[in-house]
Structure 1
Amino acid sequence: MSRLKEAQKSSKGAAAYSRYINRPLGRPMAATAYALRMTPTQVTIVSAVFTLTGVALIALLPPTVWSSILIAVLLVLGYALDSADGQLARLTGTGSLAGEWLDHFFDSIKLATIHLAVLVCWFRFFDLPDGWLLVPLVFAASANVFFFGIIAADFLRRVHRLEHPHGPAEAPREAWRSGGLYSLAVIPTDYGFLCLVFALLWWQPVFVGIYTALAVINVLMLLLAALRWYRSIRGLAADV
């Protein structure tokens, strides 16, 4: 556990749940996996099993208090294990491009399915006008575009560093994005916070209200992030 504490990646820019709850929760899981001689890839697969089981239950089970809690627990554990695989890789020095790809692959699956599962749940079990079904569709589109934007920006920065190893250094991350207030402000975009919200799936008006608010906020945050990513990538090209 002491070695894992020193093997954490930077918390700069991380939302509060991921920063203060998910990574500490994933630490004992990574330590357990290390003691069991599991590989990071095996932990990734276990994480996917927990997450995708929770996603499936959203669409399959009528929302009750107990089914909602079960779904939230499965999603929370899946997300914590998603952190544990990276911590285990850093602890053992066994990180690889294949492992990184597999991690992103399962991330894209959960983002492509969790909001569609909400769509099925609302259609099957909720008494809502048809227009409300657009909310999970918009949320699904926003989440997937956001994920692509992050991955594509990171990929292009890596390519730029390889092509111009002696070029100007990238601008440091803004100091305000490292603080606790920023991590609290971006909680609505945190997948971990969304996992907790599913504990309220049984309470239709409250869940619909919170979920819709999160969808709207995420769309607005996507627009702001897209502008920032574009300026960042354009700035790299300008430095060449």
Structure 2
Amino acid sequence: MAFGAALRELRRAQKTTKGVSLYSRHINRPAGRVLAAAAYRIGMTPNQVTLISAAFSGAAVVLLACVQPSLLLGLAVYTGLAVGFAFDSADGQLARLRRESSAVGEWLDHVVDCAKITALHAAVLISFYRFFQLPSPNWLLLPLGFQFATVLIFFGGLLTDKLKPKVGGGTVASLGAAPSRLRALVLLPVDYGTFCTIFLLLGNERAFLVGYAVLFAVHVLFLAGFMAKWFRELAAIRTM
């Protein structure tokens, strides 16, 4: 199959955009689609694409933990994370194109995702300790709190999706529900792609601290809302 044909096939085989933010919907998924078509053309497997995603994200994490913050470092970290995120979208799209979705592929994808979000906030903590002139040692607690919130959002959403009854290839709650553009806009602050952009501020210590703290506060608010929503949805299953 030629690159153009693969791209057209991928456009027809997209997952639902319900519950997906504007960044993932209009930037990351289209970028992943191009990468998936290219990977298909050269005969790559979905697991190989997942490992490329891990390599880009891992390189960004190492740079963040080991190099003095600067504008150049911020650009390098952002680029590594954003490209890794695009490849993270590409592996699933490639699996659908090749009709090779598997339990081991899904397992590898989720393990890499979990490692990425955990290691990224750990790298921020290391960078704070090694390079930043923090107003107070208490700021070292911020990456730990952010890590806690993001891991709970990731795991809670994943587990909720797994526990919901599936009907016709989708969850009961998602059937017949049209994607909301307003919801996609509201979810933008907690999209991983949005979070990646905060590292462009690494050249300005104060700006990065403020931006990172604001995003942490937003994630905490969304965590509370998500947990309440997921609990209600799963509790309602008993009456269905």
Structure 2 length as normaliser, TM-score? 0.92
Report the CA distance between 1:170 and its aligned residue: 2.4
Residue in structure 2 matching 1:170, options 172, 188, 192: 172
Residue in structure 1 matching 2:78, options 72, 79, 84: 72
Q: Which residue identity lines up with residue 111 of structure 1 in the other structure? A: I
Alignment partner, residue 237 of structure 2: 236
Report the CA distance between 1:238 and its aligned residue: 2.1
Report the CA distance between 1:179 and its aligned residue: 2.1
Alignment partner, residue 47 of structure 2: 41
Alignment partner, residue 153 of structure 1: 160
SS in 1 for 2:226: helix
Structure 2 gap ranges (5+): 1-6
Q: Which residue identity lines up with residue 57 of structure 1 in the other structure? A: L
Alignment partner, residue 130 of structure 2: 124
SS in 2 for 1:8: coil
Pair 1:51-2:57 in alignment: yes
Q: Which residue identity lines up with residue 187 of structure 1 in the other structure? A: L
Report the CA distance between 1:181 and its aligned residue: 2.0
For 2:80 and 2:122, the matched residues in 1 are separated by 17
Report the CA distance between 1:65 and its aligned residue: 1.1
Alignment partner, residue 213 of structure 2: 212
Alignment partner, residue 191 of structure 1: 192
Q: Which residue identity lines up with residue 203 of structure 1 in the other structure? A: N
For 1:209 and 1:184, the matched residues in 2 are separated by 22
Runs of 4 or more consecutive aligned structure 1 residues displaced over 6 Å after TM superposition = none
Report the CA distance between 1:171 and its aligned residue: 3.6
- Cα offsets for 1:156-184 (capped at 9, x unmatched): 12xx45xxx8xxx82446958x2222211
CA separation of 1:89/1:172 partners in 2, compared to 1, >3 Å: closer, same or farther?
closer
Residue in structure 2 matching 1:19, options 16, 25, 34: 25
For 2:115 and 2:202, the matched residues in 1 are separated by 21
Q: Which residue identity lines up with residue 195 of structure 1 in the other structure? A: C
For 2:123 and 2:111, the matched residues in 1 are separated by 18
CA separation of 1:174/1:225 partners in 2, compared to 1, >3 Å: closer, same or farther?
farther
RMSD value over aligned CA atoms? 1.6
Structure 1 gap ranges (5+): none
- Cα offsets for 1:171-201 (capped at 9, x unmatched): 446958x222221111111111111221111
- Cα offsets for 1:101-128 (capped at 9, x unmatched): 1000000001111111101111111100
Pair 1:94-2:103 in alignment: no
Percent identical: 40
For 1:25 and 1:91, the matched residues in 2 are separated by 15
For 1:59 and 1:202, the matched residues in 2 are separated by 15
SS in 2 for 1:95: coil
- Cα offsets for 1:128-154 (capped at 9, x unmatched): 010111111100000111111011111
Q: Which residue identity lines up with residue 221 of structure 2 in the other structure? A: L
Pair 1:134-2:135 in alignment: no
- Cα offsets for 1:183-235 (capped at 9, x unmatched): 11111111111112211112111111111000011011001100110010010
- Cα offsets for 1:42-75 (capped at 9, x unmatched): 0000100001110111111101111110110010
CA separation of 1:173/1:58 partners in 2, compared to 1, >3 Å: closer, same or farther?
farther
